Amino acid sequence: MFGLWCTRQYRKTVMRGLSHLFDRGLLETCFRELATRLRREEDELCRVALLGWMDFVARAHGGELYRQFKELLPNALGLRRSDGSVLINCREKLICNEPLLCLKAYLFCKKRWMEKKLRSLAAGTPYAEVARVLLGEGDIPEECGGRSENCAIKC
């Protein structure tokens, strides 16, 4: 359960600048594997959960991997218009009336008020479970394939 502890703490760990403690090779392998799974995944909620973990891995790695993640995110979330602009306005509070959109918006905007909205999602619903992944308190759900050995990151 070491990896699970890691997910609960990842935000603090990454924010404290302790990312050098992660094995960078493993982070890259994990990121590539998640990216491959993302291409195959059709369920939008599972896609968000995978992206939530990719976000964590990319931040922990930093540099090129994080740049790649930021670049792929709007398309992967289905938030890119045909003219290249992004569909979401990060200041629009009504976005969080729709839980799936709120999850996507949080990944994209990382706003504190969105975090509060995600925490208030009704417990026991699939959205609440994925919200915990994005908030660093949960793992990729089993129904979405769980987290593989390549992503058993040691902190």
Partner 1 sequence: MVRAPTLESEIAFCYEVKAVECAKEVKRLLNRKGIEARYIVEYPDVYAIRLNDGNLPEWFRKSFSEIKPRSVREVLGFDEGDLRYRFGGRGQGKWPYDVRKRKPYWCPALRRLSIEVYYERLEYWKALERLFNRHVDGVVREFVELVPRSLKDIWDLDRGGVKLALLDGKTLKSKLREIAEIKSRSYNGLSTLQLVNGDTLLEVVGGREAEYIANLLSGLLFRFGCIPYYVELPTTHAEYLKLPRALYVGVGLKKVGEEYAKGLAVLMTGRGNVVGYVDKEFHVRSRSMEFLEERELDEFVNEIKAKLESYRNNMSKDPELIVVVRSRRFHEIEWRTLRKNFASHWLRLSSKELLLMSTFKLKNITIGPGRTVEVGRRLMSGGLHGVWLVQLSKFKSAVKVSYFYTGNDATLPLAAYIYLRSLDFTSLTQNRTSLPPVKYARNYLKWMYLSQ
Cβ distance to partner 1 smaller for residue 43 or 71: 43
Q: Under DSSP, is residue 85 helix (H, G, I), strand (E, B) or coil?
A: coil
Contacting positions for partner 1 (CB under 8 A) = 43-46, 79, 87-89, 92, 94-95, 97-101, 120, 122, 124-127, 141, 143-144
Which residues, at least 6 apart from 102, have a Cβ–Cβ distance to it below 8 Å? 95, 96, 114, 117, 118
Question: Least distance from C-beta 137 to partner 1, angstroms?
Answer: 18
Nearest distance, CB of residue 94 and partner 1, angstroms: 4
Specify the 3-state DSSP secondary structure of 80.
strand
Given the complex with partner 1, which of 64 and 143 has the nearer CB atom?
Answer: 143
State the nearest-atom distance from the C-beta of 125 to partner 1, in Å.
5
Token readout for 22 is 């992660």
Q: How far is CA 109 from CA 73, 106, 127, 138, 153, in A?
A: 11, 5, 18, 20, 25
Cβ distance to partner 1 smaller for residue 3 or 141? 141
Pick 22 or 139: Cβ nearer partner 1 = 139
Residue 126 C-beta: closest distance to partner 1, Å = 6
* Minimum CB–partner distance for residue 142 and partner 1 (Å): 9
CB 13 within 8 A of CB 19: yes
Asked whether the beta carbons of 11 and 136 are under 8 A apart, the reply is yes
Measured from the CB atom, the residue of 95 and 107 that comes closer to partner 1 is 95
Q: How far is CA 16 from the centre of its chain?
A: 19
